[in-house]
Chain A
Amino acid sequence: MVETKKLALTGAEAVANAMRQIAPDVVAAYPITPQTPIVEYFSKFVADGLVDTELIPVESEHSAMSAVVGAAAAGARAMTATSANGLALMHEIVYIAASLRLPIVMPVVNRALSGPINIHCDHSDTMAERDSGWVQFFVENAQEAYDLTLIGLKLAEHPDVQLPVMVNQDGFIISHGVEPVELLPDDMVRSFVGEREPVYSLLDVENPVTFGPLDLYDYYFEHKRQQIAAMEKVFEVFPKVVEEFEKISGRRYACVEAYRLDDAEHVMVALGSTCGTIKDVVDELREEGKKVGLLKLWMFRPFPKEQVQRYLYGRKSVVVLDRSASFGAEAPLYAEIKSALYESPTKPLIGSYIYGLGGREILPRHIRQAFEAAINGDLLADGQGYLGLRE
């Protein structure tokens, strides 16, 4: 472990530095707000000769992901970054990247999907990709955005995993907010991520392979089963990667973070930057004698059901905050949590709140309101509440 200096960086700049230190062979990207500064910073690193990546400015996100898929299939280490409608335009190739088992790491700066047009934060963009076969991380702050980009790369390229990884950071709140961030020394990151050793490579002419063949009812199903198995492997490999990362950084990660949960009776579950605000509210309520806590998910896909069950079984109530909606159905995180509690020996009260769509501010009093509903037994398992909404 080394002493590192704290820098005042935005989430975008922190992630661009992670990319510089990873030094991918290929980066193909198309700018979209609020991902733009990641690509700006990284392009500058390339122009200044700080990294020798082949940077491909493409004409669309569909092409960005296609170029990265081609490069990764050739055996290169390849990255891109996007947001919102850019991610939606990639959608077709996002699935292909996962099914080709290409270890692409993609920072995603979360922004509301149109329409109406909105450039601010919510999680609708990444939730539309939750069944694409990518590993999905969510971060609370700029430090975690940096750390999980490095961790994500090592996880993605592990021979037992070989899957792409999205590292989600909240648009503007994290991407454009300046916070203290500690960067590891370049050489330490280089030795942590090592060199990519592709299992198969298009450029390995001694061992020719076919990528992207027609695969009908004879084998498609078996290939999908292998993808499911690879996702299960994440739970075996991820703890080893985060342990190695902790040795060099002193910072500990897991699938979930338990905040003041030891004796908590009422637990909030959430993703992303709002978790920091929730921790402050938990502290305030604790001072008032309320036994509350937070379960933050760093990993959303694969869904860490066992850890969620371990931390939620036996609680009096569970209140889930979603920053996206599933129109006509339960919100994405809520649906997962509710399903994870099906076998719970005692059924906690459970409730769902949607907040922050299109960047609507989430204030401590909104979080308090949701906790108070939980404490007062005011949750409806089949209902859906809204925080900070005018109606």
Chain B
Amino acid sequence: MQRTISKLLEIRWHGRAGQGAKSAAQILAEAALAEGMYVQAFPEYGAERSGAPMRAFNKISPRYIRSHSPVLNPDVVLVLDDTLLGVIPVTDGMKEDSVLIVNTSRSVDWVKNKTGFSGKICIVRATDIAFEETGRGMPNTSMLGALVKVTGTVSLETVEQNIQGTLEGKIPAKVLEGNLRALRRGFEEVTCGG
């Protein structure tokens, strides 16, 4: 499928090292490229240890992206771990029309109180979904599904094909199928408010 977007879309992922934010950003970039858009995906490394807060970024654009400057004013912020809220300034640089997507089993209001963000907030139980579908609490694929639903930048089918193409033969078929179900459930179960 070929599609395009009208202007540059900038995304920031907040997670803890080991939660798969870097991989999710890369899969998103590959899917957007497959649909004819220009892309960048880049992680930010600090102390490289499992569980440490980390960030990853995406730029998706109708035009070739030359700039290598960091994302300062993201259109979308994804938080893969709600224990980061109140600890890491996840809303830094967000605009009035930016969207905040959080992996949490709590409510939109709770996220709003915790972050003070007054724009659109979306929540999805990404860790629970991952446990139910794959037996592991890796929230990245459900968050990717939620992002696809909220932004519509790429189609769910392209992301599915991409995950399949990247992981087929590298992980057990059961885990791959679980991840694809988690992706779809993230897409279906994300709810927004604010």
Contact = CB atoms under 8 A, between A and B. Distances in A.
Interface of A: 6-8, 119-120, 140-141, 170, 172-174, 176-180, 273-274, 276-277, 279-280, 361-364
Contacts of A274: 68
B88 interface: no
Contacts of B42: 172-173, 176-178
Interface residues of B, number: 20
B69 A363 contact: yes
5 contacts: A120-B45, A140-B66, A179-B39, A277-B68, A363-B72
Contact of A279 (B26, B66, B72): B66
B39 A180 contact: yes
A178 B68 contact: no
A119 B26 contact: no
Nearest to A276: B66
Contacts of B72: 363
A8 B67 contact: no
Contacts of B41: 8, 177-178
Given A8-B33, A8-B39, A172 B66 contact: no
A176 B55 CA distance: 13
B43 A273 contact: no
Q: Say whether chain B's binding surface is mostly helix, strand, loop, or mixed.
A: mixed
B26 A178 contact: yes
B70 interface: yes
Contacts of A6: 33
Contacts of A170: 68
Nearest to A119: B45
Interface in B49-71: 64-70
Contacts of B29: 8, 178
B40 to A, nearest CB: 6
Given A8-B33, A8-B39, A177 B66 contact: no
B10 interface: no
B45 A172 contact: yes
A239 B100 CA distance: 51
Contacts of B69: 277, 361-364
Contacts of B65: 179, 276
Given A8-B26, A8-B33, A363-B72, A179 B40 contact: yes
A139 to B, nearest CB: 11
B67 A178 contact: no
Contacts of A279: 66-67
A178 B70 contact: no
Given A178-B26, A178-B39, A180-B38, A361 B45 contact: no
B160 interface: no
A18 to B, nearest CB: 20
Contacts of A361: 69-70
A41 B123 CA distance: 37
Contacts of A179: 39-40, 65
Pairs of residues from A and B, 9 with the lowest C-beta to C-beta distance, nearest first: A276-B66, A177-B42, A178-B41, A273-B68, A8-B30, A277-B67, A280-B67, A277-B69, A8-B33
A83 to B, nearest CB: 13
A279 B26 CA distance: 25
Contacts of B45: 119-120, 172, 176
A178 B66 contact: no
Contacts of B30: 8, 178
B32 to A, nearest CB: 8
A138 B45 CA distance: 23
A364 B65 CA distance: 14
Interface string B67-92: 11110100000000000000000000
A170 B69 CA distance: 13
Interface in B23-49: 25-26, 29-30, 33, 38-43, 45
B162 to A, nearest CB: 9
Contacts of A141: 66, 68
A279 B45 CA distance: 26
Contacts of B66: 140-141, 276-277, 279-280
A145 to B, nearest CB: 13
B43 A176 contact: yes
Given A170-B68, A276-B67, 8 more contacts: A140-B66, A141-B68, A172-B42, A178-B41, A178-B42, A361-B69, A361-B70, A364-B69
A140 B178 CA distance: 39
Contacts of B64: 180
Contacts of B43: 176
Contacts of A277: 66-69
A280 B70 CA distance: 14
Contacts of A172: 42, 45
B103 to A, nearest CB: 22
A74 to B, nearest CB: 37
Interface string B3-30: 0000000000000000000000110011
A173 B30 CA distance: 18
Among B40, B68, B70, the one with the most A-chain Cβ atoms within 10 Å of its Cβ is: B68
> Most chain-B CB neighbours within 10 Å: which of A8, A140, A176, A361?
A8
